[in-house]
Amino acid sequence: MPEITPQWFRVLDLDELPEGRVKTVVAGHKSLALTHHQGQYGALDNRCPHQGGPLGEGSIENGLLRCPWHGWDYCPLTGQPPGGLDVDDALETFPVEVRDDGVYVGLPVEKPHIRTVSDVMAETMVNWGVTHVFGMVGHSNLGLADTLRRQEEQGKLTYIGIRHEGAAAFAASAYAKLTGTPAACLTIAGPGATNLLTGMWDAKVDCAPILALTGQVNSQVLGTGNFQECDLSAAFSGVAAWSQTVLSHSKHAELMTLAIKHALLERNVSHLIFPDEIQVQPAVDVPAATPTGRITPLQIAPPPESLQQAIGKLKQSRRPVIIVGHGARFHMPAVIELAELLGAPVLTTFKGKGQIADDHPLGCGVLGRSGTPIASWFMNEADVLLVLGASFSNHTGIYPGKPIIQVDFDPLALGKFHPIEVPVWGEISIVVEQLKTALSMQVDTEDVQSEIAERWAIWRAEKARRELDDRGQGLNSAAIFAAMTRWVPAHAVIAVDVGNNTYSFGRYFECQAQSVLMSGYLGSIGFAFPAAMGAWAAAGHKRPIVSVSGDGGFGQYLAEFTTAVKYQMNITHILLHNDQLGKISKEQRAGEWDVWQTSLHNPDFSQYAQNCGGFGIRVTQPDELDDAMAQALAYQGPALVEIMSDPELI
């Protein structure tokens, strides 16, 4: 056979490795144990054939290289085991040259990449429009991660490496809530996968499509209690609408197709489990799949009988009110046209905050516990409620004693908690268009715009009075969110957390055209900042991204500020610092409990932001608010405004 010319790599300076020592070096993609023994250099395969121990982390003892894991010995120059042992255990060696500028190792030219199962599935995923992955690379997902790297190098995918898998899930959930399309999460087996579960549940209960890609131990040791083995099918069974393990003879492109199809059509969580060895299994001639012919438009029309009942109710109405929830967020221009045709005030659930501008002549703000007195006034004065894409949770505050027309794509959501007068099953966009057509020139409703303006004037005067409240223990929430109203751009995306800060945001912040993201039904603390990262991935190139939390929420994913710095995410975080879990303290008092274990020990968060490489500024006086927010919003990168706030003035 002709001699193969090696490819040479410089791996050491001349004086870098002392006599009698070994170290790990990397040449191309090859990891080597480089030894210096008896005045010569040796280059050995770094992987011990017994348990895979890294020989470069071993030591040379009594003239032999000892594996740090298994204690096996080898000649430091030839890789041969001591006499009498199986020669099959000998290590592969590579030529070494000492040149004037350093030590070189010669390796065979690397073979071209062989297409794998992971390639088939990643290509299919990208074909379906999944372009962002949040995750953490680890030992049981390396084959899949390498495939994602190739997709990113081709410009087809963006990968964002996070510090905690829970943040990856929240980021992907927020991405889906904002866009209606799924992002993916990547984790290892065991703890990496289970860390996703809170964010997966957030996506599930808020009907956000999401894709989880979890590594797994080798399939041959499943069920044996292997290191980091966890029954992921069981762990995800409650949260995932669809979950499958990728096997050797699976239809790999079909599995990815079904995963994304379930996520999109069921607006839910899909999950794929990748055993370690399956990820790198060759799949040279297996084609990737595309969505062509695999998915239907979702604009279904309602049953005619339900539609006619709704039309009849609205024709008779003198004071109709429209209530929009998060499910109506992609259809608001048509909803507002219908409201203008009916002359109907538009209230939103808290999850729907911002879907109509608060300065629109028919906009009445948020209904319920986080809401405005304007919204509750007009609901109570209504003679019929047209509810579009709302959940009717107890936080929403929709009064069941009113005649209700409810429209939803999910038939199980209709009349979920109590009977309603007219349930209408259909896509909101279609139902609204049909109502507009049927009701044009057919309604005779009261003109309530002057009432709406009067109610807003009363509420704004009350907010202005509250801005002056001062107990000398920090800034009040009315002043904080008034400043946010002045400074947050009209087209921003705002991710909020849970707690008193969020209730106050709902009550005091006045929206223009901002999109608001929250952990709605799950109500998970810590959502805001990871969600802002997801929003940045989805829209940061064209929209400002702002997040709001208390010190308790931000502390949950504090390290993700370094992720934002790494990727230069243009996120402004508004942090209300009051040294306690204020909402829980309030609930303990309301329940006549002792206030216990709600206090927090915090750092200087503004200094922390600067230590991470971002912008941080602390606000202690009301007259500092506007300048601080202006500086933070103007900063090109992650910025944090830490506001010392009064937990009682909410």
CATH number at residue 68: 2.102.10.10
Q: Is 254 in contact with 91 (CB distance < 8 Å)? A: no
Q: Is 144 in contact with 279 (CB distance < 8 Å)? A: yes
100 and 122 fall within a common domain: no
**Could you read off the pLDDT of 285-323 as tens digits, one per residue?**
999 999 999 998 888 899 999 999 999 999 999 999 999
Strand order across the 269-275 sheet: 158-161, 132-135, 184-187, 210-216, 269-275, 242-245
SS (H, E, C) 436-490: HHHHCCCCCCCCCHHHHHHHHHHHHHHHHHHCCCCCCCCECHHHHHHHHHHHCCC
**Could you read off the pLDDT of 34-66 as tens digits, one per residue?**
999 999 999 999 999 888 889 999 999 999 999
Strand order across the 64-66 sheet: 59-61, 64-66, 73-74
| pLDDT over 80 at 109, yes or no | yes
539 and 621 fall within a common domain: yes
SS3 406: strand
Confidence of residue 1 (pLDDT cuts 50, 70, 90): very low
**Could you read off the pLDDT of 248-260 as tens digits, one per residue?**
999 999 999 999 9
* Residue 74, pLDDT score: 94
> How many CB atoms are located within 10 Å of the residue 43 CB?
27
Q: Can you say how many angstroms the Cα of residue 211 is from the centroid of all Cα atoms in its chain?
A: 11
* Residue 85, pLDDT score: 56
**Could you read off the pLDDT of 590-613 as tens digits, one per residue?**
999 999 999 999 999 999 999 999
For residues 255 and 22, what is the distance between their CA atoms, to the nearest angstrom? 46
340 and 275 fall within a common domain: no
Give the single-character DSSP code of 55: G
For residues 193 and 420, what is the distance between their CA atoms, to the nearest angstrom? 41
Confidence of residue 528 (pLDDT cuts 50, 70, 90): very high
For residues 510 and 521, what is the distance between their CA atoms, to the nearest angstrom? 23
Residue 298 forms part of a structural domain: no
77 and 132 fall within a common domain: no
For residues 452 and 450, what is the distance between their CA atoms, to the nearest angstrom? 5
519 and 578 fall within a common domain: yes
Bridge partners (DSSP) of residue 214 are 187, 273
568 and 613 fall within a common domain: yes
For residues 434 and 335, what is the distance between their CA atoms, to the nearest angstrom? 11
CATH (domain of 500): 3.40.50.970
Confidence of residue 2 (pLDDT cuts 50, 70, 90): low
Residue 180: C-alpha distances to residues 160, 203, 267 (Å)? 19, 11, 8
Ramachandran category for residue 541: left, alpha or beta (phi over 0 → left; psi -120 to 50 → alpha): alpha
For residues 12 and 283, what is the distance between their CA atoms, to the nearest angstrom? 38
Q: What mean pLDDT do residues 561-570 have?
A: 98
* Residue 86, pLDDT score: 58
**Could you read off the pLDDT of 171-197 as tens digits, one per residue?**
999 999 999 999 999 999 999 999 999
Number of domains, the chain: 4
For residues 274 and 85, what is the distance between their CA atoms, to the nearest angstrom? 37
Quickly list H helices, 180-298.
Answer: 191-194, 197-205, 232-235, 252-266, 276-279
| pLDDT over 60 at 104, yes or no | yes
Q: What mean pLDDT do residues 224-228 have?
A: 77
Bridge partners (DSSP) of residue 133 are 159, 184
Residue 97 forms part of a structural domain: yes
| pLDDT over 60 at 217, yes or no | yes
Q: Pick from 88, 107, 126: which residue ends a domain? A: 107
* Residue 52, pLDDT score: 85
262 and 338 fall within a common domain: no
Nearest-CA neighbor of 148 among 231, 215, 194? 215
Q: What mean pLDDT do residues 113-141 have?
A: 97
Q: Pick from 107, 138, 155: which residue ends a domain? A: 107
Residue 490 forms part of a structural domain: yes
428 and 503 fall within a common domain: no
Confidence of residue 328 (pLDDT cuts 50, 70, 90): very high
SS3 117: helix
For residues 306 and 286, what is the distance between their CA atoms, to the nearest angstrom? 48
418 and 474 fall within a common domain: no
Q: Which residue has the tokens 């040279």?
A: 284
90 and 123 fall within a common domain: no
482 and 631 fall within a common domain: yes
* Residue 67, pLDDT score: 93
> How many CB atoms are located within 10 Å of the residue 231 CB?
12
Strand order across the 40-45 sheet: 21-27, 30-37, 40-45, 93-94
The radius of gyration computed from the CA coordinates of the chain, to the nearest angstrom, equals: 30
The parent domain of residue 164 ranges over 117-280
| pLDDT over 60 at 477, yes or no | yes
Residue 620 forms part of a structural domain: yes
**Could you read off the pLDDT of 625-635 as tens digits, one per residue?**
999 999 999 99
pTM of the model: 0.93
Residue 195: C-alpha distances to residues 147, 168, 496, 522 (Å)? 23, 9, 21, 16
Residue 228 forms part of a structural domain: yes
pLDDT, averaged across the chain: 94
535 and 625 fall within a common domain: yes
Q: What mean pLDDT do residues 375-392 have?
A: 95
Ramachandran category for residue 319: left, alpha or beta (phi over 0 → left; psi -120 to 50 → alpha): beta
CATH (domain of 310): 3.40.50.1220
**Could you read off the pLDDT of 60-98 as tens digits, one per residue?**
999 999 999 988 899 999 999 987 555 577 999 999 999
| pLDDT over 90 at 223, yes or no | no
| pLDDT over 90 at 501, yes or no | yes
SS (H, E, C) 123-147: HHHHHCCCCEEEECCCCCCHHHHHH
Nearest-CA neighbor of 137 among 176, 173, 163? 163
Residue 591: C-alpha distances to residues 328, 397, 523, 587 (Å)? 36, 21, 20, 6
* Residue 394, pLDDT score: 77
Angle of helix 165-179 relative to helix 528-539, nearest 10 degrees? 50
Nearest-CA neighbor of 348 among 531, 539, 520, 550? 520
* Residue 101, pLDDT score: 96
Q: Which residue has the tokens 């109570």?
A: 380
Confidence of residue 491 (pLDDT cuts 50, 70, 90): very high
Q: Pick from 69, 86, 107: which residue ends a domain? A: 107
Residue 649 forms part of a structural domain: no
Residue 267 forms part of a structural domain: yes
Confidence of residue 486 (pLDDT cuts 50, 70, 90): very high
Between residues 391 and 141, the one the model is more confident about: 141
